[in-house]
Amino acid sequence: MTPFTYSQPGDSTNAVVLGSKQEAKYLGGGTNLVDLMRETLERPAILVDVTGLSSVIEERENGSVLIGAATRNTAVAEHRSIRALYPLLSRAILAGASGQIRNMATVGGNVLQRTRCTYFYDSEGSRCNKRSPGQGCDAMDGFNRIHAILGASSSCVATHPSDMCVALAALDAVVHLRGAHGERMLPFTDLHRLPEDHPEIETRLEPGELITAIELPALPLAVRSTYRKVRDRASYSFALISVAAALELHDNGIVKDVRLALGGVAHKPWRAWKAEAALRGQPATEQNFQSAAMAELSEARPLRDNGFKIELAKRTMTAVLMELMEARA
Judged by CB under 6 A, the residue of 69, 92, 158, 284 near ligand SF4 is 158
Helices 286-296 & 308-328 angle (0-180, nearest 10): 140
Question: What does the alpha-carbon distance between residue 14 and residue 18 come to, in Å, rounded to a whole number?
Answer: 6
Nearer to ligand SF4, 4 or 121 (CB): 121
Nearer to ligand SF4, 19 or 263 (CB): 263
Q: How far is the CB of 35 from ligand SF4 (least distance, A)?
A: 15
Q: How far is the CB of 157 from ligand SF4 (least distance, A)?
A: 4
Q: How many CA atoms lie within 13 A of 317 on its CB side?
A: 33
Judged by CB under 6 A, the residue of 16, 88, 93, 128 near ligand SF4 is 128
Question: What does the alpha-carbon distance between residue 157 and residue 202 come to, in Å, rounded to a whole number?
Answer: 13
Among the residue ranges 112-120, 206-214, 241-249, 320-328, the one whose residues contact ligand SF4 (CB under 6 A): 112-120
292 sits near ligand SF4 (criterion: CB under 6 A):
no
Q: Is 198 helix (H, G, I), strand (E, B) or coil?
A: coil
User: CB under 8 Å to 35, separation ≥6 — which residues?
Assistant: none
Question: What does the alpha-carbon distance between residue 46 and residue 53 come to, in Å, rounded to a whole number?
Answer: 18
138 sits near ligand SF4 (criterion: CB under 6 A):
yes
Residue 255 burial (10 A CB sphere; 0-12, 13-18, 19+): buried
Judged by CB under 6 A, the residue of 53, 93, 104, 137 near ligand SF4 is 137
Buried b (16+ CB within 10 A) or exposed e, 216-230: beebeebebbbbbbb
120 sits near ligand SF4 (criterion: CB under 6 A):
yes
Question: What does the alpha-carbon distance between residue 219 and residue 82 come to, in Å, rounded to a whole number?
Answer: 12
Nearer to ligand SF4, 15 or 165 (CB): 165
Q: How many residues sit close enough to ligand SF4 to count as binding (CB under 6 A)?
A: 14
Closest CA to 178 of 269, 28, 68: 68
Among the residue ranges 23-31, 129-137, 217-225, 270-278, the one whose residues contact ligand SF4 (CB under 6 A): 129-137
Nearer to ligand SF4, 54 or 126 (CB): 126
Binding to ligand SF4, residues 268-287 (CB under 6 A): none
Residues at the site binding ligand SF4, with contacts judged by CB under 6 A: 115, 117, 119-120, 128-130, 137-139, 156-158, 199
